[in-house]
Structure 1
Amino acid sequence: MLNKQPITKKLNVPAEKVWDAVSKIGRIDIWFPFIERCKVEGQGKGALRYMTVAGGGGEIKDIIEEINHETMKLIYLRPISSFPVTYYKGTVEVFRSYDGLGVVVWTIDFESKPEDSVSVAELVQGAISAGLDGMERDLLSS
C-alpha cells in the first residue's frame, strides 16, 4: 500500500533563494543532521545523489526524476534506502507566500510492510522536518 507523508514549512528566506538551493540537490549533508556525506553525479534529470547516513546507518541513492524551474518542483526516486521501504519517492515543491518567502512542501510517497508504515512515516516526518530547519539555518547564514 502506498503511504503519503507531507511535511510543510515556511522559511524566513525568499522563495527564489530556497528554490535555487533545492534545485542544486547537493547540500543535503549540511541540512540533514543524520546525513554524513552527500555526493552528486550529473545535473538535472537523471543526476544521481549518493548519501551516507551518520553512525554507520547505511547508504542512500537518489535518482533525480524531474527539476522544473518554472513550477519550482523537484522529484526524486530512492532505489537504495536505509529505511525499511520497497518504494520511496520524494517531491519537493517551493511556493512563494504573499510576502515573498518560501513555503516548502516536501512529500514522501513510500511503500513498506504494513507493520513498518507507522515507524517509517514518523522517521520521515522527523528527518524532513530537521532537514528543513537545517536548510533555513544554512540559507539565512549565506
Structure 2
Amino acid sequence: MFKIIVPAVALATVAFTPAFALEVTKTTMVAASPEAVWKTVGGFCGIGDWHPVIEKCALSKKGGKEERTLSLKGGGTIVEQEQARDDKKMSYTYTILSGPLPVEDYKSTIMVEKDVGGSKVTWTGTFKAKGAPDDKAKEAIAGVYDAGLKGLAAKAK
C-alpha cells in the first residue's frame, strides 16, 4: 500500500506546483557616485531620459500607484506600474501591465549601490515566458536590460 501512496502523492505535488519563474539579472559599473547615478535613474518616468529604446514616457496614477506608459522607438507601448520605491536604498520595483514583450507575471527591480570606483547598478527581473520559448523570453529581457544599463552608464556622471 505504501508503494502506491508515495508515487500518487509525488505526482499530485508536481501537478499543483506553479511553473518556475524565469530570472534575468544584469549589472554594470558606473564611474559616478551612487547619488549621481540614482539622480539619473530618476523618478519612475526617468527611464525615458536614459533608455535608448524609449521615445517618450508618460506618467499617471491608478489606484494610488504610479504608472508609466512607455512609447517605444519604432512603435509599440509598454505600461508599467511602480510597486515599491526606496530612495534611501536607491531602488524601485515595478511590474509590466501590458506590452509587446514575450513575458507575463513580470516583476523587476533596479537598484544602485556603492562600489569601488563608483557605483554598481543591478537590474533583476522575474517572469514567465508568454508566446515564446523560455530562452527567447530571457533573451528579450536581457536585451532590454543591457541596452538600458549601457544608456544609463553613458548618461550618469
Q: TM-score range by the shorter chain?
A: 0.7 to 0.9
User: Residue 96 of structure 2 corresponds to which residue in structure 1?
Assistant: 78
Q: Write the letter of the residue equivalent to 2:146.
A: S
- Check whether the contact 1:23–1:74 (CA below 8 A) recurs between aligned residues: no
Structure 1 CA distance, aligned partners of 2:79 and 2:132?
A: 24
Residues 29 and 69 (structure 1), Cα distance of their counterparts in 2 relative to 1, 3 Å cut:
closer
Which consecutive residues of structure 2, in runs of 5 or more, have no partner in the other structure?
A: 1-19
Distance in 2 between the 1:115 and 1:84 partners?
6
Structure 1 residue 41: Cα displacement: 2.4
SS across alignment from 2:103: coil
The corresponding residue for 2:14 is: none
Tell me what 1:59 maps to. 77
8 Å CA contact retained: 2:108, 2:123: yes
* 1:23 to partner: Cα distance: 4.2
| SS in structure 1 of the partner of residue 65 of structure 2 | coil
Structure 1 distance, partners of 2:139, 2:34, is: 27
Post-superposition CA distance 1:48-99 (Å, at most 9, x none):
111012212x211111111112222210011112112121111011110134
**Preserved contact between residue 23 and residue 67 of structure 1 (Cα < 8 Å):** no
User: Which amino acid in 2 is paired with 1:119?
Assistant: K
The 2-side partners of 1:67 and 1:86 are apart by 22
Q: How big is each residue's C-alpha offset from its partner over 1:80-138, in whole Å with a ceiling of 9 and x where there is no partner?
A: 12112121111011110134x11011001111148522112111112211111111222
- Stretches (4+) displaced over 6 A: none
Matching residue within 2, 5, 8 for 2:27: 8
Aligned length: 136
Structure 1 unpaired stretches of 5+: none
Residue equivalent to 1:31: 50
- 1:119 is matched with 136
Q: For the residues of structure 2 that align with 1:68 and 1:127, how far apart are their CA atoms?
A: 23
Among 108, 118, 129, which residue is 2:146 paired with?
129
Q: Which has the larger radius of gyration?
A: 2
SS in 1 for 2:145: helix
Identity value in percent: 26
| Structure 2 residue 111 is matched with structure 1 residue 93 | yes
Q: Distance in 1 between matches of 2:103 and 2:143?
A: 16
SS in 2 for 1:119: helix
C-alpha separation in 1, matches of 2:59 and 2:141: 22
